[in-house]
Amino acid sequence: MTDTHATPPRRRMLLLAPAALAALGLTAATAAADTSTTGPSARTASGPGRHGTARKTKAMLDAWLRLWNGDYTQAPGIISTDFRVHAALLDGGDGSAIRGADGLVAWIGQTRAAFLDLRFALQVAPLVDGRYASVRWTATGTYAGGFPGAKAAPGTEVTFTGTDTLRIRDGRFIEYWVNSDTLQLLTQLEAL
């Protein structure tokens, strides 16, 4: 029997690319709450007023991490209505169709559906420089199946890494560049 609600293979590939490219997210909620194992929570250029900005950016990044770990209520408070994604998707797209808080939440939801129990952990503390913040992460999860060309069995545990860079305007994230180790993910999915 065919599931009429199943995601078509091309759409599934578009959705998994963000997981590979974005896994897009940053860290587990516990990592956001306890950064003592990753060192300082933010590094900033020196100068007047930088400490207050760094604290606000750190709070935004903590919310960003919770968002990527499934707390979608974080999106309206940190995502601009003009939010744009820059990502090389597996289907050749550039991520430009993902817009605003609703678009990001939909993308994250679809990404998380492809990998059960998907969690992000920081590898390097956030780097903050003025209106830009960057974070290096590791994602782990359990493959749910359905990736076109993948030979890995559903239930396969995967781990992959990436870096998120975010631009801030008016106290919200407005642009997002994601760079993930897609080769690492596709190898584990036996999709090469």
Per-residue pLDDT tens over the stretch 32-70:
333 333 333 344 444 445 566 778 898 999 999 999 999
> What percent of the chain is modeled with pLDDT above 70?
71
Question: Quick check: 96 pLDDT over 80?
Answer: yes
- The Cα 46–Cα 7 span in angstroms is 48
Count CB atoms within 10 A of the CB of residue 186: 20
Indicate left, alpha or beta for 117 from its phi (over 0: left) and psi (-120 to 50: alpha): left
Q: How does pLDDT run across 117-161, given as a tens digit for each residue?
A: 999 988 998 999 989 999 999 999 999 998 888 999 999 999 999
- The Cα 1–Cα 146 span in angstroms is 16
- The Cα 178–Cα 53 span in angstroms is 23
Q: How confident is the model at residue 11 (pLDDT cuts 50, 70, 90)?
A: very low
Phi, psi of 187 (to 5 degrees): -65, -45
Question: Quick check: 170 pLDDT over 90?
Answer: yes
Count CB atoms within 10 A of the CB of residue 96: 11
